[in-house]
Chains A and B, each alone.
Chain A
Amino acid sequence: MTGEVFQGGLNVVVLDVEDHFSPIEIYNTISRLSIARKNRRFNMLFLTRLDHNKFYERYRDILLNNISLSLSIKRVEVTDCGKAIEMLKNAVKTLGKPIVIPDRKCAGLVEELEKTGVVEVVR
């Protein structure tokens, strides 16, 4: 589902459904993860309400800013958190135990998956 490109990279699912994130927040989080896990490769799945144009307009500056991480980005449009969680459950089947970065609205729904150890949540 993520179109995983970087072997041995960190699989990260971002729930950006309610547009609570600023791109810099996402970048800071993956930078922290990169340092903590000593891994500079990320296969990222964005479950988002943003369409192609709005999504890339939003994240463009980070991608153009000569970053030192490797990123593989897949965007899937979802209408709400419920749909996002449904897709996340599907994604888990192929991704192993992904790291999830949920926005505030979806965070509650991810908790159940976190408790069962299916995903790891980073806030």
Chain B
Amino acid sequence: MKYEVVLTTDRTMMSNHHRKEFLGFVATGPPIALPEWLWLYITAPKPKVDKEGKPLEAPYGMRKVEAKLIEAGFKAAIIDPDHLEKHIDSMRVLMFGHHDYFAYGPPSSEWWSLTGLEPVNRRSFKRLMEKPVIRKAKEKGVKFIAGGPAAWQWLWELELWRKWGVDTIVDGEAERVIVGLVEKALNNEDLPEYVYVGPSDSPSIDEIPVIKAPSVNGLVEIMRGCPRGCKFCSVTLRPLRFIPLDKILAEVEVNLRHGIKGVILHSEDVLLYHADGVKPRPEPLIKLHKAVLEKIGSEGDIGWAHASLAAVKYAEEEHKLISKLMNDYILNERRKFLGVEVGIETGSVELAKKIMIAKSAPYPPEMWPEVVEDAFRIMHENNIIPAATLILGLPEETPEDVVKTAELLDRLKPYRSIIVPMFFVPMGALKKGNWFLKDHIKREHIEVLYKTLKHTTYWAGEIMNKYYLRSPVYAPLRYILRYFIWYVNRRADKFIKSLEYQIKS
């Protein structure tokens, strides 16, 4: 088939990450201790493609845009970056999507700032845009449209935006604007340079299409938006919408039909699906899990994209809901755990009040450290493995706030988890090419960095061996990652000393 609209992205996005979503995050770092090709093999192996170069699985956001365009009658398809040449003659619009085009998002910017080395995702995207096929497409007048969660990053890469000839950047939920933009591009009409889709143009449930082909690792969206209003997060501006169960199941079926047996339920807070404000309700969550698990059967994997720690605590303490979901529905002989991303962000009540006053709700912000610890305990006891984030270096942060975070980390030691510190990086600091961290880091930050590194490397071994990569097919990956963890641990003390030296000098 000839496609006039082609969607693509670089290898770090166009991959199923060996069916282990978390490995995808490793592509946000620079290739430390390993050659880049091996780093890419570990984090982003090439996906299966059909004879047209369409990947079996593709990033979910791009699948949504593809579906919207197909429903509008366009000949549109997602094409693997290695197979674009096959469509150079028919292509008239080339669209790019990315989670982190230029590595300015977390945690890429943090790895970049810590090591001074350009992360792999940024290198990979730049390589894609410099490919002869992309240059050839531009020369023959193909219109370039870029979007996705990292669209804003183009505002910090103005030279590359111009050099690569990107016609339009779309920032925000695309469903309402993308058809009109592609129509204009195909009709050779004037295109705007930058489109910012505000909350009033967020699509309604009916305007959000069902994906037509599989998403990476079976990810399906169950809701959009978040009611918590954290200052550092843009999702909170968007209205809260719950995707109806029939649409969720229709997407699970799309994935199953193509052999993707697992499901990742995507939301900013899975436990708030049809919640009563910020209070999780058992009935819709049980109905959702029961229906999805019936579809995927006992062999399929399930994960949650994100959950809030307050919702974990409330759901368990008020309804015994976490243990019920895990023991009665999720865990079985094959499914030994459930992975989820959570946000700690800070251990300081004072800072929590300033930047995320509703994150602890329905509990008061004064209880935040207790909420975190209780939620970690509940997850540990129920075989939920969280990948948690911390934010360091916020403009309003005081040394006392960082000390509180370090103290909370001590209390989290007994709980199986990965904890990743993220630096609030002033934009532009990285672009100057300087290793800016020495100018911003304080002694308290070093303590937190050290504690998270020790915590994560301690638990990573058990998580890999007993849960995440326990199948014999992952033995080579396990071996490489064990070496990597050993290497990082070995270098950690030296690195921390060098940071201390940087502060002194």
Instruction: Decide if B424 is an interface residue (CB 8 Å cutoff).
Output: no
Contact of B190 among A3, A68, A69, A71 (CB under 8 A): A3
CB distance from B121 to the nearest CB of A (A): 20
Q: Which residues of A contact B184 (CB under 8 A)?
A: 3
Whether the Cβ atoms of A5 and B158 lie closer than 8 Å is: no
Given A6-B177, A52-B162, A64-B155: A74 in contact with B192 (beta carbons within 8 A): yes
Known contacts A53-B162, A57-B158, A68-B237, A5 near B198 by CB under 8 Å: no
Nearest chain A residue, comparing its CB with the CB of B154: A56
- From the candidates B159, B195, B200, name the one contacting A5 in the complex (CB within 8 A): B195
Assembly CA distance A57 to B154 (angstroms) = 11
A75 to B26, CA, bound (A): 38
B164 in contact (CB, < 8 A)? no
CB neighbours (8 Å) of A2 from chain B are 190, 192
State whether the Cβ of A67 lies closer than 8 Å to any Cβ in chain B. yes
How far is B8's CA from A8's CA once the two chains are assembled, in angstroms? 31
In chain B, what residue has the closest Cβ to A75?
Answer: B193
Contact of B195 among A40, A67, A71 (CB under 8 A): A71
Query: Does B277 sit within 8 A of A, measured CB to CB?
Result: no
Question: Is residue B197 within 8 Å, beta carbon to beta carbon, of the partner chain?
Answer: yes
Q: Which of A3, A43, A52, A69 makes the CB contact (< 8 A) with B189? A: A3
The answer to whether B198 touches A63 (Cβ under 8 A) is no
Would you give the shortest CB distance from A93 to chain B, in whole angstroms? Answer: 13
Q: Does A32 contact B (CB under 8 A)?
A: no
Chain A contact-residue range equals: 20 to 34
Are A63's CB and B194's CB within 8 A? yes
Give the CA-CA distance A56 to B156 in the complex, in Å: 9
Q: Which of B162, B200, B234 is close to A41, meaning CB atoms less than 8 Å apart?
A: B200
Residue-by-residue, is A1-36 near B (CB-CB < 8 Å gives 1, otherwise 0)?
A: 111111100000000000000000000000000000
Bound form: Cα–Cα A41–B180 in Å: 15
Given A52-B158, A53-B159, A57-B158, is A68 in contact with B192 using a C-beta cutoff of 8 Å? Answer: no
Bound Cα distance from A30 to B276, whole angstroms = 36
A67 touches B177 (CB 8 A): no
Which residues in window 169-201 of B have CB below 8 A to A? 171-172, 177, 180-181, 184, 189-201
Chain A residues with Cβ below 8 Å from B191 are 3, 74
Q: Any chain B CB within 8 A of the CB of A60?
A: yes
Which B residues have a C-beta under 8 Å from some C-beta of A?
Answer: 152, 155-156, 158-159, 161-162, 168, 171-172, 177, 180-181, 184, 189-201, 234, 237, 427
